[in-house]
């Protein structure tokens, strides 16, 4: 198993990509702290993981709250025995065309999607630096290339990429790797507000693989980046988007 006896924190873990990552991590031998604002969703996720024989800790709270994040890291280390991996997956959308975007909506998205990532990264890097190892995976989005109606979301996800590169440069000599995954159109709750005919048109004409992605397909990459299989990879952003954006 690729993550045997490793300890991970996964934010936004109640559903979608975060839950898929948690399930894969446990299958690969890791112990996980599950974070989300959705208490009921977290408890359901924890029940599924424990039923599969996994060990997990539930940490319901907001990644924007620095005190909460510090406590989550401390509780993880005390209860699960350390911290080897952080998956910064928590994120929200509050879409609006630019000239109609309220300041509050802008602030909410930037706070969760960018400040929240920084809060968790900063808290996790302290024990990782001290032990001389660790892997941090930040979740961006192909919306970082620019997406109408998502000035706030696109800006936040572009910021995550720059944050990843800077952290990788700062932490590399300390043995800590920092990478970024950038999902495209993945079949999660976040897409439920998009009309089905629009999704069909997009996948048929803009995605070479001509379908939506699955959360498990993102989780597969996250597991790889968390494991020693990727031991010489840091500072990278990898798209998981069926070929919609090619380097």
State the catalytic residues.
153
Helix (H, G, I), strand (E, B) or coil at 183: strand
* Measured CA distances, 18 to 13, 45, 100 (Å): 4, 10, 31
Contact at 8 Å (CB) between 189 and 138?
no
User: How close are the terminal C-alpha atoms of the chain, in Å?
Assistant: 31
Beta bridge partners of 88: 138
Mark 73-100 as b/e (b = at least 16 C-beta within 10 Å). Answer: beebeeebeebbbbbbbbbbbbbeeeee
User: How many CB atoms neighbour CB 4 within 10 A?
Assistant: 9
DSSP letter string over 11-27?
ES-SSHHHHHHHHHHHH
Task: Quickly tell me which residue has 């198993």 as its tokens.
Answer: 1
């Amino acid at each position: 198993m690729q993550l045997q006896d490793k300890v991970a924190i996964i934010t936004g873990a109640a559903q979608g990509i975060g839950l898929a990552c948690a399930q894969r991590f446990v299958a690969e031998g890791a112990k996980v702290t599950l974070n989300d604002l959705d208490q009921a969703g977290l408890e359901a996720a924890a029940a599924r993981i424990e039923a599969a024989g996994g060990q997990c800790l539930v940490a319901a709270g907001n990644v924007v709250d620095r005190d909460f994040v510090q406590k989550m890291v401390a509780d993880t280390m005390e209860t699960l025995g350390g911290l080897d991996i952080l998956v910064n997956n928590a994120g929200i959308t509050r879409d609006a065309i630019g000239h109609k975007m309220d300041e509050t909506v802008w602030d909410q998205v930037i706070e969760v999607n960018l400040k929240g990532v920084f809060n968790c990264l900063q808290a996790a890097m302290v024990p990782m630096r001290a032990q001389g190892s660790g892997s941090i995976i930040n979740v961006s989005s192909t919306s970082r290339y620019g997406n109408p109606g998502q000035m706030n979301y696109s800006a936040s996800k572009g910021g995550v990429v720059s944050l990843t590169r800077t952290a990788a440069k700062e932490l590399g000599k300390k043995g800590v790797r920092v990478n970024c995954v950038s999902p495209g159109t993945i079949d999660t709750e976040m897409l439920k507000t998009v009309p089905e005919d629009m999704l069909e048109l997009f996948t048929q004409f803009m995605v070479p693989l001509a379908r939506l992605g699955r959360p498990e397909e993102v989780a597969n990459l996250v597991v790889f980046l968390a494991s020693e299989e990727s031991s010489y990879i840091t500072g990278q952003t990898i798209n998981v988007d069926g070929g919609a954006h090619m380097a």
